[in-house]
Structure 1
Amino acid sequence: MIVKKALLAVLLAVGSLSVQAAPALQKCAPIEISHTDLSGLSYHLACDAGKWHLGYTGSVPAGEDAVNAQYRLSIDGPDGVSMVQNRVVRLPAPARLAQMLMREAVVLDSGELALRDCKEIGCTLYRPMVESKSLIKATVTVTPESKRLMDEGAALKADIEQLKVELSSARMERDTAQRELRKTQDALNQMSAELTGYRLEADSIKQVKSSASQEELQARIRQLEDEVASAKSAEVRAMHTVVEVMQANRTLTQRLRELDSPPADTKKVSPIPDAMKSEDVRGKDDDSNTPNYMLPYEPCHNVMEEGQSGLHIKDPGKQDFTALVSPGTHHQLDKKTRPAHRFARVKGQWYDVWTDPPTPIAPPAKLHRNS
């Protein structure tokens, strides 16, 4: 009994060959669609498998994806045997209903009928309807439909192998990319560490420069303070010098005043000597060998001469300057009207020609002789 069950479960591999069995697919008439709507369609399919007559009746739900279709199979045998089965077939799509139903039954070389023993799309296992020793090595003949399915399976296997190769290549590329990523990450970490070192070094340099700048600034401040102290010391010395010069100036001024003052026993002389009224003193004095003298420290250019209205003083050192000195009260001439030189000598007598009229004075000190 166990052997019989094993024989009933023999796998009929698609594409294999056997010298003892040559199964054939059933032949079917065009499928009849009895009803169709949005929910699906109802059908009837009549087929012949050798001496066997098969009828398929059922409905298929609408859609485009794979569905399970239930159908009712009625079988009529050559010896008057009749049976009905409710079966299920897996459709890759509702449009392939007829193709899948044609593969539900095959005829063995002994003329016996075998039905498919599984509902999956690629199933090739068939169970014989009658026990027979000749079914031990029974196989299914490769039909054009089966050939197409086999080609598709081979193509799928080739695609799978190609995908495996591509997957292996992708894994290798992934491993390479991961190694490169690790190298890049290591290089980035190294660069980050170097950058951190550079920043620390730059901060240290900035601190050193800042310290050096502060030291230079402090040194410059000390230098400026020394210069200011030196300038203040020089200013103090200059002030002392100015005071000394002012004291010397006052002393010299007092001395000049003493020299300008006539002695107490000096005889008062007339403002305009008689000699000036009748004699031109443009040349020499009573000492024919001694020329006139003049202060301060310059040759004598002043010339006195008598005119009808008084004593004229000419100063060739200016632009034809002529000052009219009239007899009368003595007063100082302003800077615009007085001559450039203050003192002049006529007939041995010295006069201050910056007064109006000229004032007789004692001989001035520190005279310079004309060249």
Structure 2
Amino acid sequence: MPTTPTAPARTTLGTTGPETSALGLGLMGMSDLYGPADEAESIATIHAALDAGVTLMDTGDFYGMGHNELLLHEALRGRDRETVQISVKFGAQRGPDNGWLGYDASPAATKSALAYTLRRLRTDHVDVYRPARLDPDVPIEETVGAIAELVKAGYVRHIGLSEVGAETLRRAAAVHPISDLQIEYSLLSRSLEAEVLPVARELGIGITAYGVLSRGLLSGHWNADREIGASDFRGHSPRFQGENLTRNLALVEALRSVAEAKGATVAQAAIAWVASRGADVVPLVGARRRDRLAEALGSLDVHLTAADLAAVEAAVPEGSAAGDRYAAAQMAMLDSER
């Protein structure tokens, strides 16, 4: 494989979204939910991604209660804002103890959240703005309608959604064009393929795929003896528990054999598989360090043939993951899984 990875191709999120890199960087782990992170290394990783041609930066106002947006602002100092596409999720409510208090995607909360986001990012607009989950108490038409008003005012360029089902996609798109749906998509998480993905394609809505390495399970770097810190949500994730973990790591070892035959790492093969799902699918990699980013960028040089794809899917068959992707309470919040 080349020592210098290929730069990501350019693509458009859906038929109406912004032009962006065909690989994005998810920033959540730099502030929250995966245990402690090194802020200087996080900023250096964002710089390395930008220098490599990765221009899609995905954040959320509740990642570290604003810390992630402040971190991104710091990383973008001296950069041309118009060359970066910032995607922001909102709606999750948290207390001072970091606890989760539910969701609020009401029109007033939507507009208020954006005001704080713009201040933290020190920017006059967000490229894609999206509710993190469907608010069960607020019709999606009201949430999208509020963002549409922000689009008209120039504060938001495009509207996205996250983890919603096919019916919600249709209802939202009837109010305003939707650029993309952010949803978990990996060899271990393929439930969107049955209904959500076909409807998204029918409506011209792109897919920004997060969790492409299944929270690290498919990274090739996880092992059964790894200790999970108290602030790492994987300690409560069913796929990382007991026999589930043993079974899932066996799938990883099967994938490793296929990847090594291609001269690739497990992570690179897993990311390349997601990228192979279609030109409308943009993988988001959650690298927190430059070495992990470099490995992820190496996936751009992994070209999976039909035979390779068959071998990958034989190693990790559809539906073979042991355990749900979230604990039961979080699964219940996913409109995409209903």
Q: TM-score normalised to the size of structure 2?
A: 0.18
Higher helix share: 2
Larger Rg: 1
Higher strand share: 1
Higher relative contact order at CA 8 Å, sep ≥6: structure 1 or structure 2?
2
